Amino acid sequence: MTSGSVRVLAAGDHFVLPSLIRDAVAARADCSVRELLLGWPLEPFGPVAEVREASDAEDEMIEALADGREVLVTQMGPVTERVLEASPALRLVVVCRGGPVNVNLDAAKRHDVRVCYAPGRNAAATAEFTVGLLLAALRRIPQAHGLLAGQGSWEGAAYYTYEHSGLELEDLPVGLVGYGAVGSRVARALCAFGARVMVYDPYVRGEIHGLRVDSLDELLLRSRVITLHARLTPQTRGLIGARELALLPEGSVLVNAARGPLLDEEALCDALESGRLSAAALDTYAREPLPPDSRLHALADRVVLTPHLGGASRAVAEKAARIAAEEVGRWARGEPLTHALT
């Protein structure tokens, strides 16, 4: 591929802006870039045709690719069988995410389209957010803020009483379920706070920050705080349910900024209502957006809830555009792709 002939569609959104993609690609290849703005996160994503997580924009994608674009860089654009069939010139799709869940990989292979992604783009942001959630849950920061700033009430001073005061991280036994790019960063941060970090991850070898334990049950029995960092697979779906929560010491805290379906939310609500758990902090849910009838809403004095913001930093958007643009540059120069799946 000669560099001057590359035609790129930058199908960004309100997070990874089309202009970020455009500028990053322009710095690495001589390309003609067309911009398309999709609605996420102001508009929800979800299943589109046969792909799991995408903006509902097949028609817009087909129209924007109709002038013979060979390269598509996107985060939420649906790359379905229909889109691929309508875009015979398309040769490369680069997804600005940690996984190409918006791409029909089988169809891409049939249409001779390479697919790349952007691993590790949000590991640091998600790790920092996880620690923030943990501190907020341990020290009741959102609840105290809501009373004072929202209601003008000094009643949050009750969190200074022994009965209602929170836990501190120093010397606290904290268990991490998973030790990948996010979990390992959380472990390093918690060690700096002086927490007694324990890790359960049967797939990780070598040195870790903290103490490795041999089973999930052992981790739960020994931890006052649990944070989830496992990938969502058929084996890990529902990993933490009623049985697992019952193993935690009474008054423990759970944090999940990984994937909602790792956790049985009904069992979590039962544990919070019974006092088995004193608090929880969640950034991801079994269903997103969180349904209005979720029991979690009635537990506002014990939960910290955020709308899947763990990866939402400007650095993540810029890094995603840069990783994607580097792949476009390699492809334009005829070099091997670094993060290719097909």
Please identify every residue annotated as catalytic.
Answer: 259, 288, 308
Tokens of 280: 């929880």
Classify residue 101 as exposed, middle or buried by CB count within 10 Å of its CB (0-12, 13-18, 19+). middle
DSSP letter for each residue of 61-111? HHHHHTTT--EEEESS--B-HHHHHT-TT--EEEESSSS-TTB-HHHHHHT
Angle of the 123-139 helix axis to the 314-333 helix axis, nearest 10? 160
As a whole number of angstroms, the distance between CA 327 and CA 115 comes to: 10
Residue with tokens 């797939």: 203
CA distance 305 to 146: 13
CB 174 within 8 A of CB 190: yes
DSSP state of 264: -
DSSP state, residue 46:
E
Q: Phi and psi (nearest 5°) for 189?
A: -65, -45
User: For residues 287 and 266, what is the distance between their CA atoms, to the nearest angstrom?
Assistant: 12
Query: Do the beta carbons of residue 71 and residue 91 sit within 8 Å?
Result: yes
